[in-house]
Each structure stands twice: as structure tokens, then as C-alpha cells.
Amino acid sequence: MFSSYRRLLALPGAAAFTCYGLLSRLSFGMLGVSMLAMIADRRGSYALAGSVSAAGLVGTAVGMPLLGRLVDRHGQARVTVPAILLTALPRVALLVCVHVGAAAWTLFACALASSAGPNIGGMARARWTHLLRDDPAARSTANSLEQALDELCFMAGPVLGILLCTRLFPEAGVLASTVLSTVGALLFAAQRRTEPPVSGSPANLPRSPLRAPGTVVLVAAFLAVGMVFGSLEVTTLAYLGGRGQQTAAGGLLGLLAGGSCVSGLVFGLWPARRSPVVRFLLGLTAMTGLMLLPLAAAGLGAGVGVLAVVLFTAGTGTAPTMVTGMTLLQQILPTGTLNEGMALAVSGIVTGISAGSAAGGLASQHAGPAAGYALSAAAAALALLVTLTGSRLLGRHARDAS
């Protein structure tokens, strides 16, 4: 059944950059929930925890496209190595500030300074695009594989992060995340034979992928989808914390990602019979409906078992939507802007996560632990509305690029 994925990983160098990229991306899956748990434990405030996490994501949203632009002009390895090393020091400083009880502003400053890391997932997709440049069907399968690996990181990452924070000490999750991100990114950058060549001279590259109007629509939609993720994470943590079951939060967030991982792998094996725009709209419609499940379950006071089933089911709408959206983005991006364009998409997602995390933390603090699930459903509906509004523009630019 999964022979298509085995063929992809059998390509020279593909398994190596995929494994090392997975190691680095696992740290991103750990970081958000680890930071929330660390600050909530040390400072006793989910609102502060959500706000500091949001500040770090804002830094990521600003810095990642700039790094993507540099990657398009100078290559992956030349940018990744110094960038990942420069983010490690403020991340360690954040741990020290939290541990010694430093002023709250120091947490925000460290979170911002440590957040501008390279987009390993986007660079992995760029490598697949280069390797499979003559095989569009295989590129779609590779996108499904990458999305499934992203979800695997968000499935295992929260579990590992919560375990480290609760079983060892509150800073352990962020510390492990820092080590994994640094080591994984350096090993990924060392895989030079699969690194895509720089497209032409820096002076001849397009100024920005945002010049393609369809890119703006997709980034806006991804921002709303990010709000779904951010509000789900902090709301689940707060909901279970209010029931005295915080240690189960990592497992439940892992099940949410697990549902997405399974659906993404299966989706990658299906032949595409409709346009990417139509498939993206269908995915967002399904996601909007599925996000009503956690809201209903929490409203009824569901326990861990029911919430686990609900979150796994809700997660099945994520990966097919993201795979189709990323495939559509790759179709409309101008030549020579792939890394920057993918970084803009991720920046839209993390900006949404930032807003969703902050809003979900405030809602959980002041309106009850389950209130943030309403934000998740509303954000999914917003993503659908944005895409519906720009669907003709997306369709036109996808046709022009094909």
C-alpha cells in the first residue's frame, strides 16, 4: 500500500535529509506545549504562558521569510548553519530567566530572539521539488509524506515535551527542544548532494512571492488555520489542567496530530481528480465541521477518553487540507522564490498560532477552560471564508502557472 513512499525514500540522499529534517522538526512539535507548561508551572498563569509563546511565534513569522529569501539567494547550507546557532543562545537564556524568576519582559525578549530559525520543513519540500521536478504526481505524494511527518512531530512532540516537563523539571522540554533543533538542522544542512541549486544570480531573482496575488489569499487562509492550531493547543492544556489531568494533555494533542498523520498518508495515495482549489475548499469545509466536535465535547464536560476520540477525529481534516494548500502554493509561486514562499506560508500559520495561543489562553483564564474551542471552530470557518472569497483568483493563477 505504501510502495509509493518507499520509492520516494529510495532516491539517493532522500532518506538522509528526511530523517535529519524530522529530528529538527520534532523540536518544533515539542516547543509550544513545553513552553506553555514551563511558564504556567513556574509563574502560575496560562495567560502569561500563552502570551510568551505567542511572542516567540511572532518572531518566527517575521524572521522565517527573511531567512527563506536568503536561502533562495545563497543556498540552504550557507544560511541554515549560522541561523540555527544564533537561535540556541537566547533559547538557553529563556530557560535561565524562567528558572530564576526574572521579570516577565525578559521572557518576551528571549522568546523573540530565539524564534528566527530556518524553515526545515519548507527546505525539505524544496528538495523534493528539485528531485521530482519532472514528476508532478510524485511531488504531490512527497507533499503528503512531508505533511504526515509534520503531524508525526506534532503527535510525538507534545507527548515528549509534557513528559519531560512533568517527570523531570519544568524547563526540560524546552531544553530538549533546543538540542534537537540544533543537531537536526546541522545534520540536515550537511546533506549537500540533495540541496537544490540557487536559481540564477541574486540580482535576477523576483523581489517577493507576494507579487502573485494568489499567494496572499493562501497566506491569509493559512493564518486562520494557524489560529485553529494555537487555540486547540492551549485550550486542551487548560481544560485538562482544570480537571487535574494536565499530564494527559501531551497524549491528547498527540492524538489530534495522529488523526492528521493517518489521513495525510492515506490522502497521498489517492489520485487527484479535482483541481487543487476545489480540494482545498473541500478540506477547509471538512475541517470547519470537525472543529465543532471538541467544542461540543468540552461543553458537555467530556472526560479524557471521550476528548481523545474527538480530537483524533477532528485531526483527520487537517493534513489533506494542508497538503492541497501547499501543493497549490507551489503551483503559483514565481520561479526562484520557493523557499521564501514556503516560509511565508509557515509564517502565516505561526502568526495564526500566535494569535490563537494568546486568545485561547485569555479565554481559558477568564471565560472557562473550554471556551477556547469556540475560537478553533470560528478560525476554521474564517479560513474557509477567505478561500471562498479568493477562489477565482487562486484558480486563475494556478492555471497560469501550469
| Cell numbers standing for residue 339 | 523557499
Give 94-137 pLDDT, tens digit per residue: 888 888 888 888 888 888 888 777 888 888 888 888 888 777 77
What is the length of the chain? 402
* Amino acid present at 2: F
Q: What is the mean pLDDT of the chain?
A: 81
**Mean local confidence (pLDDT), 170-194:** 88
- Cell numbers at 292, concatenated: 465543532
105 membership: H or E segment, kind and range: helix 104-113
- How large is the average pLDDT for residues 282-292? 92
Can you give the pLDDT at residue 401? 45
Q: Kindly report which listed range (215-229, 247-261, 273-287) carries the lowest average pLDDT score.
A: 247-261
Task: Tell me, rounded to whole angstroms, the distance of Cα 174 from its chain centroid.
Answer: 17
* Count of C-beta atoms within a 10 Å radius of residue 385: 14
**Cα angle 263, 129, 70; round to 5:** 115
Q: What is the pLDDT of residues 227-259, one digit of tens each?
A: 998 888 888 888 887 777 767 776 787 788 778
Closest CA to 249 of 23, 37, 29: 37
Per-residue model confidence as pLDDT tens digits over 139-179 = 778 877 887 787 777 767 777 888 888 888 888 888 998 89
**Residue 402 confidence (pLDDT) above 50:** no
What's the CA gap between 141 and 377, in Å, rounded?
29
7-43 pLDDT, tens per residue?
A: 888 888 888 888 898 888 888 778 777 888 888 888 7
Q: Please work out, in degrees rounded to the nearest 5, the angle formed at the alpha carbon of residue 231 by the alpha carbons of 226 and 233.
A: 100
> What pLDDT does 205 receive?
54
Q: Are 375 and 227 in contact (CB under 8 A)?
A: yes
Task: Dig out the grid coordinates for 84 from the structure.
Answer: 540555527
pLDDT at 397 over 60: no
pLDDT > 90: percent of the chain: 8
Higher pLDDT, 396 or 318: 318
Residue 383 has pLDDT above 90, yes or no: yes
For residue 213, give the C-alpha cell: 496575488
Question: Quick one: pLDDT at residue 400?
Answer: 47
Q: Is the pLDDT of residue 186 over 60?
A: yes
Task: Flag whether pLDDT at 223 surpasses 80.
Answer: yes
Contact (Cβ atoms closer than 8 angstroms) between residue 114 and residue 94: yes
Q: How far apart are CA 235 and CA 249, in angstroms?
A: 10
Helices (H), 133-290: 136-167, 172-189, 213-242, 249-268, 276-290
Q: What is the pLDDT of residues 39-67, one digit of tens each?
A: 888 877 777 887 787 777 777 777 888 88
DSSP assignment letter at 208? -
- C-alpha cell read off for 331: 503551483
CATH architecture of 12-201+209-401: Up-down Bundle (1.20)
Supply 290's cell numbers: 470537525
Write down the pLDDT at residue 382: 94
Q: How many CB atoms lie within 10 A of CB 99?
A: 13
Say what angle helices 292-299 and 276-290 make with each other, to 10 degrees. Answer: 0
Q: Give residue 204's pLDDT.
A: 53
Grid-cell match 531544553, residue found: 175
Rounded to 5°, the CA angle 189-264-269 comes to 100
Decide if 251 contacts 159 (C-beta within 8 A): yes
Q: Other CB atoms closer than 10 Å to residue 19's CB: what's the count? A: 15
For residues 283 and 218, what is the distance between their CA atoms, to the nearest angstrom? 14
Task: Give the residue from 246, 258, 248, 255 showing the smallest Cα distance to 364.
Answer: 246
Question: 390 to each of 322, 324, 340, 342, how far by Cα in Å?
Answer: 17, 16, 21, 19
Residue 381 and residue 287: Cα distance in Å, rounded? 8
Measure the CA–CA gap between 25 and 135, rounded to whole angstroms: 26
Question: Tell me, what's the pLDDT at 162?
Answer: 80
Average pLDDT over residues 273-296: 87
Q: What is the pLDDT of residues 304-339, one digit of tens each?
A: 888 889 999 988 888 888 888 888 887 777 767 777
Cα angle, residue 324 at apex, residues 262 and 289 outer, rounded to 5°: 65
* C-alpha separations of 292 from 240, 248, 254, 288, 316 in Å: 18, 21, 19, 7, 13
Alpha helix positions (H), 269-337: 276-290, 292-299, 304-315, 318-332
Phi first, then psi: what are they for 145, rounded to 5°? -60, -45
Q: Tell me the domain boundaries of the chain.
A: 12-201+209-401
- H/E stretch holding 302 reads none
Query: For residue 392, what pLDDT is reported?
Result: 79
Residue 261 in this model has a pLDDT that exceeds 50? yes
